[in-house]
């Protein structure tokens, strides 16, 4: 593998892909929605059948770069007139074989995304997957864009910043996303091959300002600070046992959830004041110890005091967790190897008394001054609209504004209901008054809150006209309750509604 991809060859390949119309929409049209969905499940047969007999450039490149199928050298050269087979070989994306056949050494797939600038698309190169390899992945595998990658990309906070650090960059998808808002991105990884793909993908998509560095966690950036840190770290809990593959893209080489704990404990020193770190992670539930409490302890142990917002999205029991990640490595369920790996995982969990494993999002922020003011640890398992980055940013902004407002200041504030909020009232048959009133959020985390008539009335009256205190006094008169007591009850809940996005400052 070359140390860095040739920029001229990357430009030539990008031009050939562009001329071939190598886009996600074109591929879906070529083989249909059902076959497109099957590819994500590792089934390439339906797409291959749909392309049968086609020799146009799109079909040839789809077979080679998306499905990972060998192609005749002459056909591939016709599809890539600028790059040529020799150029693909020089980029370590292909290998010439006997009989005029060329085998792919990597995949390139179009990746669509949407941000504040509108609809965008990148070409993302990565290692061959299980379907192309027809077997388990090698331990040095560089993963392409998966569900976790897309989740983290959607979590990244919007807004211009100076420097961003991407820890464990992999194929570089987070670095590319971060560069859209940052002047400069430093992308690190313990895998030289991952850094090669990051550089390749940046060059393929004409993105500059991404610097790659080799090393583990924060070692490559000792003494440096960043405005943002983003990481999809190798957080998968993996047994340290003989015969268990240690995939670089998901296994940090530590015991249990220690990799995430080390990241949380060390990231504060690399954040500039006001800087934010965002990562995905796993944490163990152990006998007598809640998983979110473990994360809380990691944050508390940081040498740099940090604001924290941790959202657990899923919890799996040990067997479910083991099966998930053994399948992810390409080992066939039901095989002797699969059963052996399950036993290794369960033994590892049993040794530490692990009863479950949580997965979720971690947002950490270094205060600009003073002590941390945000410590929020919650479980939200409902389906969430994406992307979440703008919602997280709005919540942090609301939190900071609320920190500057005492109850009198909040009562003097004018608020509006967020545009995605609806109200549902549930009545018992024949009853005039509702027995349950719910506020439902269409965006953000898609929360549903059961509220009492007083809070429902207040939210309904927040139209940007009258201050909160005036509205509460009017509701107290209507309900014939003490206005002071009602303020004391409602104002803390109004703060929560502002943070979670049901209400906004007018």
Question: How many Å apart are CA 105 and CA 93, to the nearest integer?
Answer: 5
If residue 397 lies in a helix (H) or strand (E), which one and from where to where? helix 389-403
From CA 167, how far away is CA 146, in angstroms rounded?
Answer: 17
Q: Please give the average per-residue pLDDT across 274-292, as a whole number.
A: 96
3-state secondary structure of 464: strand
Which candidate, 499, 462, 37, places its Cα nearest to that of 311?
499
Give the dihedral of Cα atoms 30, 142, 330, 348; nearest 10 deg: -150
What is the tens place of the pLDDT at every residue in 378-402? 999 999 987 899 999 999 999 999 9
For all residues of the chain together, what is the average pLDDT?
A: 94
| pLDDT average, residue stretch 54-64 | 96
Q: What is the pLDDT of residue 112?
A: 87
Q: Which of 419, 416, 494 is nearest to 454 (CA)?
A: 494
Tell me if 212 sits within 8 A of 198, measured CB to CB.
yes
Residue 1 pLDDT greater than 60, yes or no: no
C-alpha distance across the termini of the chain, in Å:
56
Q: 49: part of which helix (H) or strand (E)?
A: helix 45-50
DSSP string, 325-366: HHHHTTPPTTSHHHHHHHHHHHHHHHHHTEEEEEEEEEEEE-
Q: Which residues pair with 447 in a beta bridge?
A: none
pLDDT by residue (tens digit) across 466-491? 999 999 999 999 999 999 999 999 99
What pLDDT, in 10s, does the model give residues 93-136?
999 998 999 999 999 999 988 777 777 899 999 999 988 888 88
pLDDT of residue 434: 80
Question: What pLDDT, on a 0 to 100 scale, did the predictor assign at position 238?
Answer: 93
Averaged pLDDT, 271-285: 97
- Phi, psi dihedrals of residue 72, rounded to the nearest 5°: -65, 140
* pLDDT value at residue 137: 83
Contact in structure between 194 and 154 (CB atoms under 8 Å):
no
Q: Alpha carbon of 469 to those of 162, 483, 495: distances in Å?
A: 40, 9, 13
Residue 424, pLDDT above cutoff 60? yes
Distances (CA, A) of 111 to 25, 98, 275, 484: 10, 33, 28, 55
Residue 152 binned pLDDT confidence (cut-offs 50, 70, 90): very high
pLDDT band at 139 (very low <50, low <70, confident <90, very high): confident
- pLDDT, tens digit, for every residue of 202-223? 999 999 999 999 999 999 999 9
Cβ neighbours around 18 below 10 Å, total: 11
Question: What pTM, to 2 d.p., does this model score?
Answer: 0.93
Nearest to 157 by CA among 243, 230, 226: 230
E strands along 55-200, which residues?
A: 71-72, 94-97, 101-104, 107-115, 118-126, 161-167, 182-189
With 0-12 / 13-18 / 19 or more C-beta atoms within 10 angstroms meaning exposed / middle / buried, residue 277 is buried
pLDDT of 435 above 90: no
Find out whether 153 and 173 touch, Cβ atoms under 8 Å: yes
pLDDT value, residue 272 = 98
**Contact residues for 118 (Cβ-Cβ < 8 A; gap 6+):** none
> Kind of pairing, strands 226-231 and 271-286?
parallel
Assign 291 a pLDDT band (cuts: 50, 70, 90).
Answer: very high
Cα–Cα distance, 441 to 498 (Å, whole number): 12
| CB neighbourhood size of 440 (10 A) | 14
Nearest Cα to 143, choosing from 245, 39, 249? Answer: 249
**pLDDT, position 301:** 95
pLDDT for 2: 60
Higher pLDDT, 174 or 427: 174
Closest CA to 363 of 428, 440, 309, 283: 309
Contact 14, 204 (CB under 8 A): yes
Distance CA 223, CA 480 (A): 61
Question: What percentage of the chain has pLDDT greater than the value 70?
Answer: 100
Residue-wise pLDDT for 355-364, tens only, equals 999 999 999 9
């Amino acid at each position: 593998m070359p140390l860095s991809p040739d920029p001229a060859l990357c430009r030539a390949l990008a031009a050939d892909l562009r001329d071939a119309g190598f886009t996600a929409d074109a591929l879906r049209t070529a083989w249909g929605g059902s076959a497109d969905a099957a590819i994500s499940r590792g089934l390439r047969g339906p797409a291959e059948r749909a392309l049968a007999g086609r020799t146009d450039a799109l079909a040839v490149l789809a077979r080679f770069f998306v499905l990972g199928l060998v192609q005749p050298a002459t056909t591939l050269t016709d599809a890539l007139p600028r790059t040529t087979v020799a150029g693909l070989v020089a980029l370590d994306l292909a290998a010439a074989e006997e009989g005029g056949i060329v085998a792919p050494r990597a995949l390139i797939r179009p990746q669509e995304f949407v941000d504040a600038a509108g609809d965008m698309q990148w070409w993302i190169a990565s290692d061959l997957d299980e379907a192309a390899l027809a077997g388990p992945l090698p331990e040095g595998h560089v993963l392409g864009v998966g569900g976790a990658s897309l989740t983290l990309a959607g979590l990244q906070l919007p807004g211009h910043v100076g420097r961003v650090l991407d820890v464990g960059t992999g194929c570089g998808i987070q670095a590319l996303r971060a560069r859209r808002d940052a002047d400069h991105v430093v992308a690190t990884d313990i895998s030289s091959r991952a850094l090669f793909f990051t550089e390749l993908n940046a060059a393929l998509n004409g993105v500059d300002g991404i610097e790659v560095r080799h090393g583990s966690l924060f070692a490559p950036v000792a003494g440096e600070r960043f405005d943002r840190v983003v990481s999809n770290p190798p957080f998968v809990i993996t047994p340290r046992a003989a015969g268990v593959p240690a995939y670089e893209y998901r296994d940090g080489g530590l015991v249990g959830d220690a990799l995430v704990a080390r990241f949380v404990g060390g990231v504060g020193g690399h954040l500039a004041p006001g800087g934010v770190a965002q990562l995905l992670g796993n944490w163990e539930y152990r006998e007598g110890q809640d998983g979110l409490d473990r994360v809380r302890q990691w944050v508390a142990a940081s040498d740099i005091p940090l604001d924290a917002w941790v959202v657990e999205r899923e919890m799996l029991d040990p067997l479910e967790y083991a099966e998930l990640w053994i399948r992810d490595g390409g080992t066939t369920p039901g095989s002797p190897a699969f059963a052996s790996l399950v036993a290794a995982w369960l033994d590892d969990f049993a040794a530490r008394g692990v009863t479950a494993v949580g997965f979720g999002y971690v947002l950490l922020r270094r205060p600009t001054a003073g002590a941390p003011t945000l410590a929020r640890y919650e479980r939200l398992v409902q389906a969430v609209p994406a992307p979440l980055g703008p919602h997280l940013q709005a919540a942090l902004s609301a939190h900071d504004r609320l920190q500057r407002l005492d109850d009198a200041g909040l009562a003097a504030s004018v608020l509006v209901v967020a545009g995605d909020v609806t109200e549902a009232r549930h009545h018992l048959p024949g009853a005039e008054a509702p027995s349950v009133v719910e506020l439902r959020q269409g965006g953000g985390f898609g929360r549903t809150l059961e509220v009492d008539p007083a809070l429902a009335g207040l939210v309904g009256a927040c139209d940007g006209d009258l201050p909160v205190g005036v509205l509460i006094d009017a509701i107290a008169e209507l309900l014939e309750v003490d206005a002071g007591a009602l303020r004391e009850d409602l104002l803390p809940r109004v703060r929560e509604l502002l943070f979670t996005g049901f209400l906004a400052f007018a």
